[in-house]
Amino acid sequence: MQRTYKTTPRAVREASGMPDMRFDTKIAVLLREDLESWQRLNVTAFLVSGLGTTVPEVIGEPYADADEVPYLPMFRQPVLVFEGAKETLTAAHGRALARALPRAVFTADLFTTGNDTDNRAAVAAVPTADLDLVGLAVYGPRNAVDKALKGARMHP
């Protein structure tokens, strides 16, 4: 069975000195269930790329290995990936808008473009209610994100 993100059991974390981190916020990506594997990866990468510039508190500190080679910072908390039918995605988008959650969208039209300018033009050409959503990223308080993604299931 595949899992996207699973922490170790609490007893193991405490025994190893690993702190029990529970975040008040959640980063979640919802993908349309009919996407090909390469599309799921591409959509997820594009969707989460906008969060750090708009919501800087989601980014942790830079990394370094034992030889002090520096690496870029990453999210400070897990990204949970969900999937659902087209209708689930449309409903989640509406709930994210109603709750004014920071969000990113990926529409089917973006698979035919090759750059940011064309991507933004493709989204701008379609009214909100008519967006052919294949992916949605949301960030916010845990309970608000959970309510926005109601009906979605964890990605296998």
pLDDT tens string 2-61:
444 444 554 444 555 556 678 899 999 999 999 999 999 999 999 999 888 888 899 999
Q: Which residue has the tokens 């052919």?
A: 132
Q: Higher confidence at residue 109 or residue 12?
A: 109
CB 12 within 8 A of CB 98: no
Would you list the DSSP string of 56-103? GGGB-PPEE-TT--EE---BSS-EEEEEE-HHHHHHHHHHHHHTT--E
Please report, for the chain, the start and end positions of each structural domain, with discontinuous segments joined by +. 22-154
Strand-pairing partners, residue 103, are 138
Distance from the Cα of residue 132 to its chain's centroid: 18
Tens of pLDDT, residue by residue over 66-83, are 999 999 999 999 999 999
Name the pTM for this structure: 0.84
Region at 117 (left for phi over 0; alpha for psi -120 to 50; beta for the rest): alpha
For 22-154, CATH number?
3.40.1490.10
